[in-house]
Structure 1
């Protein structure tokens, strides 16, 4: 018996038993590539959910306690500078892990979607979820995408915008790599994201301009 828990931009999550949830991609995408990356970084001590089963678009994993960093920010349960420190530390730890397989010199494991809604603040510490976009590449791209996503929220006409701008400032002060070296590549990736709304796509240039102005 599956009990609906939540929906994201491209997946639904169900409780399937004690301590277990099932995340299912609505477009039927195979979870095998991200499961492989999660297993790889997990072997190096990086905080990811334990995976119990994967098949096609279904990923069954542990049901973690706590809330997302985004919800904690909305609820004022975490300070922006502390949240930024966690984001920067996750980047630093992830990029220290050797990539899978044969890659070029300078390649590292990248998450490519590391932002507050993908960080769970559990009793055991922060855990990074949603590894669908993970790849090998330059750390500067990963940092640029995180900064750009924060900047996108900062230019949105929403109540969260000022808090996102504050978080962006703190993140830029702590980021382990430059957020502008590969900003054009980050903009290109975000522009091709099918889950973004027309409004979000329309303000992408403003977000990039804001980020450049802050660095």
Structure 2
């Protein structure tokens, strides 16, 4: 196993070689569901990394992708907030066009539930969505609401310049989605997330209000 490439709230990513990385969950969480979702999406042409079973519990081997995150491209000025919001909305629309893998409700789709600029890589083959640990099946409005809520939260937590960019991405996202999604359901789900700190939970109501205002410009 090679060097540590990055760490999130629940997992660390290590280099394996020039073509693969290892995602390791610190609590040893089962990765079978995540692998199954990514395999299903790849079969339907959705842009996800290639993925394989890891050697130990809590491990997932993933294709190593080249390119900046959408967030880094925004900070560098390589993409405008308007284009970034449109890109995120397009990825959500494409995702929700893929049929559910296991659910019986015809209105349900696969949901990412954490699709924001840090989870989109801009690769030579186009944008690729990463980090499917929170994926589930359900109503698409919940997924849209989660992306809107997460971006709205960022407006309150980032430094001023980045916060204004996040606000502009948010406005573009809501416009291209055709609305903010189900913010009430998204707020309930976010509030129940054990990895959120107390300050983050306290910001949720303000984030919901901002997301709602963004729908009217």
Q: TM-score band (shorter)?
A: over 0.9
Once superposed, what is the RMSD of the aligned Cα atoms?
A: 1.3
How much has 1:5 moved relative to structure 2? 1.1
Shift >6 Å, 4+ stretches: none
- Once residues 128 and 87 of structure 1 are traced to their aligned partners in structure 2, the CA distance between those partners, rounded to angstroms, is 10
Contact map agreement 2:35 2:53 (CA 8 A) in 1: no
TM-score for both structures, normalised by structure 1: 0.94
- Once residues 105 and 52 of structure 1 are traced to their aligned partners in structure 2, the CA distance between those partners, rounded to angstroms, is 29
Structure 1 unaligned residues grouped into runs of 5+? none
How much has 1:109 moved relative to structure 2? 1.2
SS in 2 for 1:96: coil
The reply on whether 1:12 has 2:6 as its aligned counterpart is no
1:78-118 per-position Cα deviation (integer Å, ceiling 9, x unaligned): 11111111111111111111111242121111111111111
How much has 1:157 moved relative to structure 2? 5.2
Contact map agreement 2:15 2:21 (CA 8 A) in 1: yes
Q: Which residue in the other structure is 2:189 paired with?
A: 189
Given candidates 155, 172, 175, the residue that maps to 2:174 is 172
1:5-58 per-position Cα deviation (integer Å, ceiling 9, x unaligned): 111121111001121100111121111101000000100000000113334210
- Once residues 188 and 101 of structure 1 are traced to their aligned partners in structure 2, the CA distance between those partners, rounded to angstroms, is 24
Contact map agreement 1:98 1:109 (CA 8 A) in 2: yes
- Once residues 137 and 179 of structure 2 are traced to their aligned partners in structure 1, the CA distance between those partners, rounded to angstroms, is 18
Q: Which residue in the other structure is 1:42 paired with?
A: 42
Q: Which residue in the other structure is 2:135 paired with?
A: 134
1:46-75 per-position Cα deviation (integer Å, ceiling 9, x unaligned): 000011333421011111000111111122
TM-score for both structures, normalised by structure 2: 0.93
